[in-house]
Amino acid sequence: MEHWRRSPLVFWATSLPPTFWLVAFFLAPLAIVWVLSFGEKQGLIAIAITWTFDNYGRALNALYLEIFAKSMWMAAVTTFICLVVAFPVAFAITFAPERWKPVLLLLVILPFWTNLLIRTYALIAVLRTRGYVNFTLEWFWDQGNWLLTLLGLGEAQLLGERFEPLTLLYNNFAVVFGLVYVGLPFMVLPLYASLDRMDRSYIEASLDLGASQFRTLFTIVIPLAKAGIISGVIITFIPAMGSFLTPDLLGGTDSQMIANVIERQFKSANDWPFGSALSFILMYATFFALALRAMLSKSGSAMEAG
């Protein structure tokens, strides 16, 4: 790498356009939102910048704190489910035959590239009252009833008078289901990356010395995969916490997350200063999570080295 002073002309020619774009069309918009978050709404559109902290104060209301807590809780549950589900998958891919690895990885990543909206829409068709899950359950119910009739138990109506479809959509379950659906690829990849780098002789040694597979998993494999687990947890948690579309389309009235509240401030409640404050709080939470990841992975690598 050369110091920029050695060829300043090339440096300026190459760095100016992207820097200009970043500043003008990314940092400036963020700065405007930041300034607005200290403003006060006056009338329908007018906003006066009074450098008040009222918007942030309002965000500490029980109502909004609850929504923040709920967003974090949903994101945490999602992350936990993703971790539990993705770990065996990443482990299996690590130990799959060489030529199957890229195929399996591609299969895991591919859904990530299909449109989020379409994937969410696909889940609606799966989960709704007349959706595939309920349809399958009803089929089983019918078969069960038929079998019971065959056994002469038809009159007893052991399975209830008629099939009651499960309410799978427009509730918190649907939101977590959708978030797990979206988040799984984010979790598999970092786990795979760290498991694939692991020195397998440690596992071998542990097994040779008489530890059970179970004990080897918890005392050898998981500690060695710590960096990947931390990465996976955080990059699943961040988008889950800030997700808008999944709670919007799959959630009910009581499964609103923070992004939905932000959207409402801008699209219907028309309270831009408050919406700005909320979106900056969400951003600070994101930065906090990223800093945590950097810190934890640093301490993790220090441990490995030591």
Partner 1 sequence: MAAIGIPSRNGAAPRRWRRSEPIGPLDYGRRLWLRLSVGAVLLFLYVPIITLMAFSFNDSRRNIVWNGFTLKYYEKALNNDSLLLAFGNSLTIALISTIFSVLLGALAAVVLWRFHFPGKPSYEGAMALPIVIPEICMGVAMLVFFARIGWPANMPWPLNLSAIIIAHISFSFPFVAMVVRARLVNFNRELEEAAKDLGASEWQTFRDVLIPFMRPGLVAGGLLAFTLSLDDFVITFFTSGPDTVTFPVKVYSMVRFSVTPEVNAASAVLIVVTIALTVAAMWLQNRAGKRNS
Closer to partner 1 by Cβ: residue 70 or 128: 128
Q: How far is the CB of 54 from partner 1 (least distance, A)?
A: 18
Q: Is 113 an interacting residue with respect to partner 1 (CB under 8 A)?
A: yes
Q: Is 191 an interacting residue with respect to partner 1 (CB under 8 A)?
A: no
Beta-strand ranges (E) seen in 85-213 are: none
Burial (CB < 10 A; 0-12, 13-18, 19+), residue 86, is buried
Q: How far is the CB of 122 from partner 1 (least distance, A)?
A: 4
Q: Is 32 an interacting residue with respect to partner 1 (CB under 8 A)?
A: yes
Closer to partner 1 by Cβ: residue 155 or 208: 208
Q: Is 54 an interacting residue with respect to partner 1 (CB under 8 A)?
A: no
Q: How far is the CB of 21 from partner 1 (least distance, A)?
A: 5
Count residues near partner 1 (CB under 8 A).
91
Decide: helix, strand or coil at residue 42. coil
Decide: helix, strand or coil at residue 130. coil
Token pair recorded at residue 24: 């003008």
Query: In this structure, are residues 119 and 126 in contact, taking their beta carbons and an 8 Å threshold?
Result: no
> Which of 49, 56, 91 has its CA nearest to residue 200?
91
> Which of 3, 96, 64 has its CA nearest to residue 256?
64
Cα angle 75, 76, 77; round to 5: 95
Token pair recorded at residue 166: 């499960």
Closer to partner 1 by Cβ: residue 290 or 303: 290
Q: How far is the CB of 18 from partner 1 (least distance, A)?
A: 4
Question: H/E element holding 26?
Answer: none
Q: Is 160 an interacting residue with respect to partner 1 (CB under 8 A)?
A: no
Query: Restricting to residues 117-136, which ones interact with partner 1 according to CB under 8 A?
Result: 117-119, 121-126, 128, 130-132, 135
Single out the segment in contact with partner 1 by CB under 8 A; choices: 56-64, 142-150, 199-207, 225-233: 199-207
Q: How far is the CB of 8 from partner 1 (least distance, A)?
A: 10
Closer to partner 1 by Cβ: residue 159 or 249: 249
Q: How far is the CB of 232 from partner 1 (least distance, A)?
A: 14
Query: In this structure, are residues 181 and 79 in contact, taking their beta carbons and an 8 Å threshold?
Result: no
What are the two backbone dihedrals, phi and then psi, of residue 241, each rounded to the nearest 5 degrees? -65, -40
Token pair recorded at residue 239: 């988008």
Neighbouring C-alpha atoms within 13 Å toward the C-beta of 234:
18
Single out the segment in contact with partner 1 by CB under 8 A; choices: 30-38, 61-69, 141-149, 297-305: 30-38
Q: Which of 50, 143, 213, 301 binds partner 1 (CB under 8 A)?
A: 213
Query: Restricting to residues 57-96, which ones interact with partner 1 according to CB under 8 A?
Result: 85-86, 88-89, 91-96
Q: How far is the CB of 72 from partner 1 (least distance, A)?
A: 13
